Structure 1
Amino acid sequence: KWFARPKAHMDALRKLYTMASKDVPVEKRQMAVGENHLRPHLIHFNRCENVLLDSFKIRESPFWTIHMYMCNGGIVRNLDVKAHGHNNDGIDLEMTRNFLVEDCTFDQGDDAVVIKAGRNRDAWRLNTPTENIVIRNCNILEGHTLLGIGSEISGGIRNVYMHDCKAPQSVRRLFFVKTNHRRGAFIENIHMENIRTGHVQRVLEIDTDVLYQWRELVPTYEERITRIDGIYLKNVICDSADAIYELKGDAKLPVKNVVIQDVHVDKVNDFVKKVHNVKNVKEDNVTYGLLH
């Protein structure tokens, strides 16, 4: 099974992470040996300009489906993407700028649209933010997150705008900003608006302590807290949610300036909102319960 990772695979992840944390040159991080079985991306563009992906179908990638890495300028449109293995993100834009993603359908075993900016020391060295990204008119049939920011954000992420997308069935989080105390950098000026969705666990979630398997797998070699400033959610209609929003900032550097406006959820299952270590949350016309 995808989720039952063998010991050799976990040992390989630990070794690779440790090499990156100790500045071992990239060309010496040779991992395609023995039983490591580190899975590749299906479509990977590295340091490309003026990319166009248009009007084709993708099925069942081994890992992230489309990965734009340190690219500048591009359009991704009219794609039909389906992959339901482990870590099967739809599209990951990483240390990439000036991109439009539009009119795509995503059916994923992990997040649908993901904005990343590198992990820890490698990204601090490259110092290349992800910026100026627009996602519009996309349809998400299934996925963990409609829009995921992070958790790899060490180059910084800014100026992201998702609008007029639908997730008619369910996603776990509609809008998920995630980082941890190893990432550093910044997340700023992220907008989502005009969204229609079925069921979600959280409409909006910010979590500054997302470490997944790395929490126990490798130690914290260096602590850097992420600055998060300017998260905007507007005009969302949701059939049901376990919670409308949950914001979990870091006490050492609280999240700032979160705006939640014109959000309606027909049914809330667990709680409406929880907020910790966040400064200046503005809520306007957030409602729940069936409208008559």
Structure 2
Amino acid sequence: MKVLKKSLLFFMLAIVSCQLKQAQINTTEIHVKAPFDMPSIKIPDFSNCKQFLITDFGAIEGDKELTSTAISKAIDEANKNGCGTVVIPEGEWLTKKIHLRSNVNLHLNENAVLLFSENPKDYLPAVFTTWEGMECYNYSPLVYAYDCENVAITGNGTLKAKLDVWKIWYKRPRAHMNSLKRLYNLASYNKPVEERQMVNDSANFRPQFIQFNRSKNILLEGVSIENSPFWTIHPYLSTNVVIRDVKVKAHGHNNDGVDPEMSQNVLIENCIFDQGDDAIAIKSGRNQDAWRLNTPSKNIIMRNCIMKNGHQLAAIGSELSGGIENVYVENCNVVDGAKMFHLVFIKTNERRGGYVKNIFVENIDAGSIEMGVLGIETDVLYQWRNLVPTIEKKLTPIENIHLTNVRAKSSQYLSKILGSEELPIKDIYLNNVTVDSLSKEKHIHENVLNFEEK
């Protein structure tokens, strides 16, 4: 009898072990060549994971409540299974916020549309997130992953935000600016994030569309994204991020395409950006918050992308207090007729600190650029100049910037580099950087050391 019980126990353990093995997620590594030591990037592979169709959990087209509940239940089941793909079928599915969990792929079939509600209450309760480089509690991003591992959004469908309310919130009335001042002071004096509750009747802090917060092994592939309340794709304090074959069209206020912030090992490739703000804006937090978190944005590659519109092809800052290094932008095209200020714009101010180094941009072709190919400015404060004071002064060292084989049809100038007298910008290298037609002087420089042009 004892032998029989022991054999039965071993048999049951073997079944459980087999089930666990079937549900275990695989990962793959991507190796990318760069002008710096670029680590391999690990991303999840859901090809052997079970699928969970949202209609099996009660989703009905046009019914926001049932669809939201169904998506949440499907995500929970996929997570409990060890790994899983939550499938959004063809059709238009009105939904509230979506919170991803580890080992889950949100997959949109062709002709599937996830249509996100315009009601701010559908993004409550408030979650641990950020606003322009400062941590706070605010409306949930429309798609939010917090402290997740192995997450993905894939497929040929579309994620779309209804803008009825958000477009009203694009304006910045006095009540909104007062809330900004309040958050700035809370962050500047290192008040606990739990005290920074920014949801009220007048703050109107718009949420990001997609935020991966403190997560790793992330894949965003194939989908289209239309409209956005705020920044569109926001990897924050995240590692191993691949954004591939994604189309973004968002022309509202602050509608950057991708904002890697204090994130590392990021690949953005084969994407199309049509933005109302920067196509890619690399950031690393604001002032005291970033000094506390002490995490640079590092090892970021953007390649083979097309820009239809955007303030800059690649912006760095102005939230860069954690430091930014090892950025490689290659083989990108800005279509003729696009509205774009610069191809590369590095911006900071006396409050930021941090650093910028090892920026490489090569093989870029552009039409007419409104201002210049390269802009570097160290006194960019926008509305903050008179809104709040400088509480602690820290300058930003900027060095080792390389542009190679870059061409534009026309612009005002080729480069405008305005360093500070206390801390000049240094080591800027331009190799075969040309503009067919300039309307002003070629280079406008202040406080620059070791500028070389070939």
Q: Give the TM-score of the pair, scaled to structure 2.
A: 0.62
Shift of 1:264: 1.6
Q: CA-atom RMSD, angstroms?
A: 1.0
Show CA shifts across 1:133-171 (max 9, x none): 110000000000000010000000000000000111331
Show CA shifts across 1:242-266 (max 9, x none): 1110000111111110001101211
- Is the Cα contact below 8 Å between 2:366 and 2:407 reproduced in 1? yes
Distance (Å, rounded) in 2 between the aligned partners of 1:33 and 1:127: 30
**What's 2:434 paired with?**
264
Distance (Å, rounded) in 2 between the aligned partners of 1:132 and 1:269: 35
Shift of 1:114: 1.0
Residue 214 in structure 1 maps to residue 381 in structure 2? no
Distance (Å, rounded) in 2 between the aligned partners of 1:75 and 1:221: 37
| Correspondent of 1:16 among 183, 187, 210 | 183
| Correspondent of 1:184 among 343, 349, 353 | 353
Distance (Å, rounded) in 1 between the aligned partners of 2:299 and 2:171: 37
- Is the Cα contact below 8 Å between 1:2 and 1:85 reproduced in 2? no
| SS in structure 2 of the partner of residue 148 of structure 1 | strand
| Correspondent of 1:70 among 223, 226, 237 | 237
Structure 1 counterpart of 2:262, one-letter code: M
Identity of aligned residues (%): 50
Distance (Å, rounded) in 2 between the aligned partners of 1:166 and 1:263: 15
Q: Greater CA deviation, 118-127 or 7-16?
A: 7-16
Structure 2 counterpart of 1:239, one-letter code: K
Structure number with the higher helix fraction is 2
**What's 1:115 paired with?**
282
Superposed, 1:49-88 pairs within 5 Å as 49-88=216-255
Show CA shifts across 1:59-89 (max 9, x none): 1101100000000112100000011111100
**What's 1:276 paired with?**
446
Shift of 1:3: 5.9
Shift of 1:6: 1.2
- Is the Cα contact below 8 Å between 2:169 and 2:204 reproduced in 1? no
Distance (Å, rounded) in 2 between the aligned partners of 1:270 and 1:60: 36
Show CA shifts across 1:191-244 (max 9, x none): 101000011111000000111111111000000000111111110111111111
Residue 44 in structure 1 maps to residue 214 in structure 2? no
**What's 1:287 paired with?**
none
Where relative contact order (Cα < 8 A, 6+ residues apart) is larger, the structure is: 1
| SS in structure 2 of the partner of residue 30 of structure 1 | coil
Structure 2 counterpart of 1:243, one-letter code: Y
Residue 7 in structure 1 maps to residue 177 in structure 2? no
Distance (Å, rounded) in 2 between the aligned partners of 1:6 and 1:115: 27
Distance (Å, rounded) in 1 between the aligned partners of 2:407 and 2:266: 26
**What's 1:94 paired with?**
261
Distance (Å, rounded) in 2 between the aligned partners of 1:236 and 1:190: 14
Structure 2 counterpart of 1:164, one-letter code: N
Superposed, 1:119-138 pairs within 5 Å as 119-138=286-305
Distance (Å, rounded) in 2 between the aligned partners of 1:35 and 1:223: 30
Shift of 1:2: 6.1
Shift of 1:270: 2.0
Residue 195 in structure 1 maps to residue 364 in structure 2? yes
Runs (4+) off by over 3 Å: 1-4
Residue 157 in structure 1 maps to residue 157 in structure 2? no
- Is the Cα contact below 8 Å between 2:286 and 2:319 reproduced in 1? yes
**What's 1:105 paired with?**
272
Distance (Å, rounded) in 1 between the aligned partners of 2:244 and 2:446: 38
Distance (Å, rounded) in 2 between the aligned partners of 1:268 and 1:226: 30
Distance (Å, rounded) in 2 between the aligned partners of 1:19 and 1:105: 38
Distance (Å, rounded) in 2 between the aligned partners of 1:166 and 1:217: 37
| Correspondent of 1:174 among 343, 352, 373 | 343
- Is the Cα contact below 8 Å between 1:88 and 1:111 reproduced in 2? yes
Structure 1 counterpart of 2:451, one-letter code: V
Shift of 1:34: 1.6
**What's 1:290 paired with?**
none
**What's 2:412 paired with?**
242
Residue 139 in structure 1 maps to residue 309 in structure 2? no
Distance (Å, rounded) in 2 between the aligned partners of 1:6 and 1:225: 30
Structure 1 counterpart of 2:319, one-letter code: E
